[in-house]
């Protein structure tokens, strides 16, 4: 547990207190980030190939049935559209043509009389199959055109349809757990002492110690005050305790209604709590970080951002001490982790798609996303127009600069640098509320103020705690797209199999 805060009890709403003067009390190390964190892992090997291929198409396909269309239960007729009981074309029913002249009589002289074999005159005898009066019944008519093809579902279903309904469904039972052995990928290279090496990582089994840090900031009394962030932090704390085996004594809560000055989410307290979270981490440990509050962007200075901007989070004292940049969060919380240690991060904030600088971002198809220059430029132009309409001139400049950078081709160079410097053998993943170019909603759900991402994450896993990463991403997006435009993102510190079960 975070010994400096016994119990981490929640308190009633109270105006935020100022951080205490002087050095941090109770044994906290000085922030000194990122230098105080243990040395990290920053390999220089080349980019690995794209991630594993996705599963089969989730919608199935229908071909035309072989042979003619089925007529239904009455199959005596071999001609589609012929009502039941009509005579066949070979002759009148019950009056077959004789196979030849009678054998008991001599051949009559002269030619045979005309129409020697005419049908009897008058109506057919009683009991014959006369055609019904009126038009043929509709139920026996031949269908017009080929059989209809079922319409494709617009977007992935939140719950996969059952087998036999024409769409892909996952195999029965829960997804497989992550493998225990070390995973290698990418090309091999000459390492130390001329030995052949290959990039590797290791999944965490999440069977070791569990620690969590939950940060919720409502920014009481400030211009951009929020309503649901403290609720998000407390809801996530309860959820991971009841569903994933965390203990309240091992969870640090930083909220701006806390009465203890060390639990106020200032920049210094947040960074020191991040350092506490990853301290003494071991393989198969499970660490959890949740942030709900304001997020933003600032100019990238080291060339590892495809859009030219770093992502940031805003402590409660950001006006006095500034924001926290994604590079710092990566250096503090990801680089110190050993192979096989899990860090699960959730960012319920604006512009949070790559807030932890994890270089492998996955689509709902299970594939690693690559930079799309045309899409980025188009999104940047739209953001510029929208920002101008709101009078947000700073965002206008940011969006236009992003267009210029995308058009210049710097995205590919940034992507290569990010994978070369931010790939890690640890098992770090991040769920974010939206793309880097989007905002996340502070809303009301079920009568309570909440962040949309935190709400969807808890709702989907409460319904089914055994989902693959891909299923979880699809289902979270399905919940949100009903009311919101934001698209949650999944990113990782290494190439991963998104068909494995999500554990934390």
Q: Which residues, in sequence order, are bridge partners of residue 311?
A: 297
The CB density around residue 194, as the number of other CB atoms within 10 Å, is: 6
Q: What SS3 state is found at 77?
A: coil
The answer to whether the beta carbons of residues 216 and 292 sit under 8 Å apart is yes
Residue 308 CA to residue 410 CA, distance in Å, equals: 8
The CB density around residue 35, as the number of other CB atoms within 10 Å, is: 8
Q: Which residues, in sequence order, are bridge partners of residue 449?
A: 444
Could you please report the per-residue DSSP string of 322-335? --EEHHHHHHHHTT
Query: Catalytic residue at 294?
Result: yes
- Of the candidates 214, 229, 341, 350, the residue annotated as catalytic is 350
Residue 352 CA to residue 434 CA, distance in Å, equals: 6
Question: Cis peptide leading into 34, omega within 30 of 0?
Answer: yes
The answer to whether the beta carbons of residues 335 and 40 sit under 8 Å apart is yes
Residue 468 CA to residue 170 CA, distance in Å, equals: 10
Residue 316 CA to residue 269 CA, distance in Å, equals: 10
Query: Catalytic residue at 350?
Result: yes
Q: Going by C-beta distance under 8 Å and a sequence separation of 6 or more, which residues neighbour residue 216?
A: 229, 230, 231, 232, 233, 234, 253, 254, 255, 256, 265, 292, 293
- Of the candidates 294, 323, 351, 494, the residue annotated as catalytic is 294
- Catalytic residue list: 294, 350
């Amino acid at each position: 547990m975070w010994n400096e805060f016994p119990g981490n009890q929640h308190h009633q709403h109270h105006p935020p207190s100022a951080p205490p003067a002087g050095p941090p009390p109770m044994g906290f190390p000085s922030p000194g980030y990122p230098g105080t964190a243990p040395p990290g892992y920053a390999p220089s090997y080349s980019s690995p190939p794209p991630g594993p291929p996705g599963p089969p198409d989730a919608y199935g396909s229908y071909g035309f049935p072989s042979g003619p269309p089925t007529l239904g239960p009455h199959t005596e007729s071999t001609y589609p559209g012929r009502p039941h009981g009509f005579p066949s074309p070979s002759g009148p029913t019950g009056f077959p043509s004789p196979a030849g002249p009678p054998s008991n009589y001599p051949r009559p002289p002269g030619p045979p009389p005309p129409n020697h074999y005419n049908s009897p005159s008058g109506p057919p005898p009683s009991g014959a199959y006369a055609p019904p009066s009126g038009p043929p019944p509709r139920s026996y008519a031949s269908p017009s055109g080929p059989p209809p093809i079922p319409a494709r579902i617009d977007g992935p279903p939140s719950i996969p349809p059952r087998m036999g309904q024409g769409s892909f469904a996952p195999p029965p039972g829960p997804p497989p757990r992550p493998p225990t052995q070390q995973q290698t990928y990418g090309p091999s290279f000459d390492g130390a002492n001329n030995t052949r090496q290959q990039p590797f990582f290791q999944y965490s089994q999440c069977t070791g110690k569990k620690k969590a840090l939950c940060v919720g900031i409502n920014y009481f009394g400030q211009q951009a005050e929020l309503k649901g962030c403290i609720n998000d932090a407390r809801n996530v704390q309860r959820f991971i305790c009841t569903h994933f085996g965390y203990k309240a004594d091992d969870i640090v809560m930083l909220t701006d209604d806390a009465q203890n000055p060390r639990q106020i989410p200032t920049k210094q307290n947040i960074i020191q709590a991040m350092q506490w979270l990853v301290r003494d981490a071991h393989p198969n440990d499970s660490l959890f970080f949740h942030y709900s509050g304001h997020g933003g962007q600032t100019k990238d200075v080291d060339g590892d951002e495809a859009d030219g901007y770093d992502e940031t989070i805003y402590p409660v004292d950001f006006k006095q001490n500034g924001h926290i940049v994604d590079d710092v969060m990566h250096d503090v919380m990801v680089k110190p982790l050993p192979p096989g240690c899990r860090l699960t991060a959730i960012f319920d904030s604006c512009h949070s798609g790559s807030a932890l600088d994890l270089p492998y971002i996955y689509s709902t198809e299970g594939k690693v996303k690559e930079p799309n220059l045309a899409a980025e430029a188009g999104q940047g132009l739209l953001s510029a127009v929208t920002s101008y309409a709101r009078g947000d001139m700073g965002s206008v400049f940011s969006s236009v600069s992003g267009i210029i950078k995308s058009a210049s081709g710097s995205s590919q160079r940034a992507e290569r640098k990010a994978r070369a410097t931010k790939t890690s053998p640890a098992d770090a993943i991040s769920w974010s509320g939206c793309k880097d170019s989007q905002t996340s909603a502070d809303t009301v759900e079920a009568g309570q103020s909440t962040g949309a991402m935190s709400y969807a994450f808890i709702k989907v896993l409460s319904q089914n705690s055994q989902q693959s990463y891909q299923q979880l991403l699809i289902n979270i997006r399905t919940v949100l797209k009903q009311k919101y435009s934001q698209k949650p993102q999944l990113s990782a510190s290494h190439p991963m199999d998104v068909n494995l079960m999500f554990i934390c």
